[in-house]
Copies of this chain bind each other. A is one copy, B any other.
Amino acid sequence: MMKKLVDRLLNDAVVINNSIVKVDHFINHQLDTKLIDEIGEAFSDEFPQTTKILTIESSGIAYGVSTALHLNYVPVVFARKEKSSIISDKVYHSEAFSFTKQKTSTITVSKDFLSKDDKVLIIDDFLATGSALKALVAICKQAGATVEGIGIVIEKSFLNARDLFKEEDFKILSLANITEIKNNTLTIKKDQ
């Protein structure tokens, strides 16, 4: 965990309901760029073998870039969320369901930008149901790339997304782990 992030969440996150917190004043609409820089540093420390970062638009991009700046400028690829189901054969693709938005998107990455030579660090701002992460992992597998690890800013572990990946041998690092949201209050795991 990252103490500064955890303290910020405990002080500033707004509970919307028992599964959703609003953090758009520092994580995903207005961005606290000092915090984002430190988050990038934390991910880079944990996964130094990374040769490419994969993230997903829009909220993952800031964290992907800040991590790359601490990893000797590895390239960042951000997956796109396509509304259309017309998918060209030039992209890797997988479906993901957004719990917050209650809709399914097709996640795509150009075949030009992922290959079997890549050691990929996947980065996202939230791990909730794990649907988007599962799509990103599937895309790495389609490319034959190695998933070096997963870096998540905020995990909602009460949704048990890690169960989807228990057969995998990569490490999932989350910097803040919300174990419960109840009565307008977050519970965050103190050590991991």
Question: A residues bordering B, Cβ < 8 Å?
Answer: 24-25, 29-34, 36-37, 57-58, 61-62, 64-66, 68-69, 73-78, 80, 83, 109-110, 112-113
- Looking at A30, A36, A75, the one whose CB has the most chain B CB atoms below 10 A away is A30
Is there an interface contact between A58 and B29, defined as CB atoms closer than 8 Å? no
The A interface is mostly helix, strand or loop, or mixed, namely mixed
- Looking at A33, A36, A69, A76, the one whose CB has the most chain B CB atoms below 10 A away is A33
Is there an interface contact between B113 and A68, defined as CB atoms closer than 8 Å? no
The residue on B at minimum CB distance from A67 is B33
Q: Evaluate whether A31 and B75 lie within 8 angstroms (CB atoms) in the complex, with A25-B112, A110-B24 already known.
A: yes
Q: Evaluate whether A73 and B33 lie within 8 angstroms (CB atoms) in the complex, with A57-B57, A58-B57, A66-B65 already known.
A: yes
